[in-house]
């Protein structure tokens, strides 16, 4: 009977850990979308473009609203930071992959500047702004985006 109980407790604990990790990943994705959206919005405004044209920025607004609705306790911040740090160390190639994909998109937009701001995904808007040099990736921001599992379409 003790083994069955231990096995059941182990399954319950594993389910709890999985649920916590999913919640952390969800918050990280929301943070990344909000961060990217804010950067794109500022870049468009600097270029004299009304950000309301870029309808996919609404996804970033929705993410930001969802973050505001989450009570951001010190315990939650600690859990998220620990998880993000372990994710960064667990996948050393993620930063290189993110930078390479972003650069590929930015290079495409540098040679062919056409973009449909009304329908372009958030990742494309971000790369387009990078190609125009209205956004520059700072090392800390890249790390934050990677830790947020952020490459959003």
Full DSSP string of 107-136: HHHHHS----TTT--HHHHHHHHHHTTSS-
Helices 74-90 and 93-111, axial angle in degrees (round to 10):
80
Give CA–CA dist 121/52, Å, rounded: 14
Q: What is the pLDDT of residues 44-84, one digit of tens each?
A: 999 999 999 999 999 999 999 998 898 778 887 787 777 76
| pLDDT confidence of residue 66 | 92
* Over residues 28-41, mean pLDDT: 87
149 pLDDT above the threshold of 50:
no
43 pLDDT above the threshold of 50:
yes
Give CA–CA dist 123/129, Å, rounded: 10
Residue ranges per structural domain of the chain: 21-147
User: Which CA distances in Å does 106 have to 1, 18, 67, 123?
Assistant: 61, 36, 28, 10
pLDDT band, very low/low/confident/very high, at 9 (cuts 50, 70, 90): low
Q: What is the pLDDT of residues 102-138, one digit of tens each?
A: 889 999 999 988 899 999 999 899 999 989 888 876 6
Q: What is the pLDDT of residues 83-110, one digit of tens each?
A: 766 665 555 566 677 778 888 999 999 9
Helices 2-46 and 74-90, axial angle in degrees (round to 10):
90
């Amino acid at each position: 009977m003790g083994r069955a109980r231990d096995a059941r407790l182990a399954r319950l604990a594993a389910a709890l850990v999985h649920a916590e990790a999913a919640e952390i990943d969800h918050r990280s994705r929301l943070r990344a979308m909000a961060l990217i959206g804010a950067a794109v919005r500022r870049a468009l405004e600097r270029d004299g473009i009304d950000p309301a044209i870029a309808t996919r920025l609404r996804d970033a607004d929705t993410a930001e609203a969802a973050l505001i609705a989450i009570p951001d306790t010190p315990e939650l911040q600690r859990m998220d930071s620990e998880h993000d740090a372990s994710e960064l160390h667990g996948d050393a190639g993620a930063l290189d992959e993110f930078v390479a994909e972003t650069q590929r998109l930015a290079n495409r937009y540098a040679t062919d500047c056409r973009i449909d701001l009304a329908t372009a995904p958030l990742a494309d808007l971000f790369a387009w702004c990078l190609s125009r040099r209205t956004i520059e990736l700072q090392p800390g921001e890249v790390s934050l985006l990677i830790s947020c599992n952020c490459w959003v379409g």
